[in-house]
Amino acid sequence: MAKDGTRSTQGRGKLYDSVIETIGDTPVIRVNNLAPEGVEVYVKAEAFNPAASVKDRLAVSIIEAAERDGSLKPGQTVVEATSGNTGIGLAMVCAAKGYPLVVTMADSFSIERRRLMRMLGAKVVLTPRAQKGFGMYQKAVELAEANGWFLAHQFETEANADIHEMTTAREIMADFDGHRLDYVVTGYGTGGTVTGLGRVLKKERPETKIVLSEPANAALVGSGTAQERDDKGQPAVSHPAFEPHPIQGWTPDFIPLVLQEAIDNGLYDDLIPVPGPEGIAWAKKLAAKEGIFTGVSGGSTFAIAMKLAETAEPGTVILAMLPDTGERYMTTPLFEDIPEDMSEEEEAISKSTPGYQMG
């Protein structure tokens, strides 16, 4: 912004060969109206990725790692189980690179996610919600084995945390270079974000505390109960502490192997659960008071950031990861009290002048 308050742009100074090249370098944005006096709260808005979520990073990392090691052949079908964001990211990457994609997804996840993946050329195979994340996961395994497809393995692959170590963590390091950073708050779906961040920040910014969150009614990590796995590290059973929760994209009904690294190696400093309704409420506040539009997962990390901010000493700096955009939640509880028709107040505004009124 110029000194006189006007705005201008100069472009990015480069031309991109593919949409894939635009992944990453998402902005860190200060929260001005909701943050308590004397505390700096920031959010890292992953909706600025081209397919609008943090999982774009994971998607391109999985595909390109498999291309390098030869496990993904030209034209081979990719298959993966997903609650939506990884599938959408994979659909974008596969469309750009020319791979067919089949996604398995429990029918409990939002309808718009299915439609977005299909718009991007993917096939979406639904599994019964009663079989939870474990069911959609096993369906992907079955399809890969039966058809010779490449299974993306987002919950186990080293390419997951690696991309967050190489990009997400490095972006945070650069953005806060010379600036205080006391807390980074994140949830987990696969665990890639917290593991990748932990690998870097624990070594290079040890004063920064990493706070992990999970749904209060599905506290798998907090339960202390170990995940049963097969000899490949894949979940053998659904975790007994799981209950259905409204934070889509967070906490499947098993502890992913990628997250297990963070648990085993102490890559986070605190674990604070969040009730789903609080995540929904804070997502709405963030949109209405800051103009920052995120989903229930982003609202949930922000809820924990605000909880920390309430008791933080002056000068504290907090960063919350916002995994995606609120548009991915139109058919979820996030929007259930947002009306389609005019409210009484809106009708009164309409009637305040004589023309162009609805009948």
Which residue type occupies 5? Answer: G
State how far the Cα of 133 lies from the Cα of 127, in Å rounded to an integer: 9
Per the residue annotation, which of 53, 110, 213, 297 is the catalytic one?
A: 297
State how far the Cα of 23 lies from the Cα of 28, in Å rounded to an integer: 15
Contacts of 148 (CB under 8 A, 6+ apart): 76
Strand partners, 317: 40
Let me know if 202 is a catalytic residue. Answer: no
Query: What tokens appear for 49 in the block?
Result: 């990725």
Q: Centre a 10 Å sphere on the Cβ of residue 238 and count the other Cβ atoms it contains.
A: 18
Indicate the SS3 state at residue 209. Answer: strand
Calculate ∠ Cα 332-336-342, nearest 5°: 140
Indicate the SS3 state at residue 259. Answer: helix
State how far the Cα of 300 lies from the Cα of 324, in Å rounded to an integer: 12
Q: Centre a 10 Å sphere on the Cβ of residue 335 and count the other Cβ atoms it contains.
A: 16
State how far the Cα of 298 lies from the Cα of 249, in Å rounded to an integer: 10
Query: What tokens appear for 342 in the block?
Result: 């005019």
Could you tell me which of 246, 197, 186 has the C-alpha nearest to residue 221?
A: 186
Query: What tokens appear for 308 in the block?
Result: 């920390």
Residue 250 near residue 300 (C-beta atoms within 8 A): yes
Let me know if 53 is a catalytic residue. Answer: no
State how far the Cα of 51 lies from the Cα of 327, in Å rounded to an integer: 12
Measure Cα distances from 274 to 186, 219, 256, 282, 320 in Å.
Answer: 11, 9, 19, 11, 14
Per the residue annotation, which of 55, 132, 139, 307 is the catalytic one?
A: 55
Query: What tokens appear for 248 in the block?
Result: 């889509």
List active site positions. 55, 297
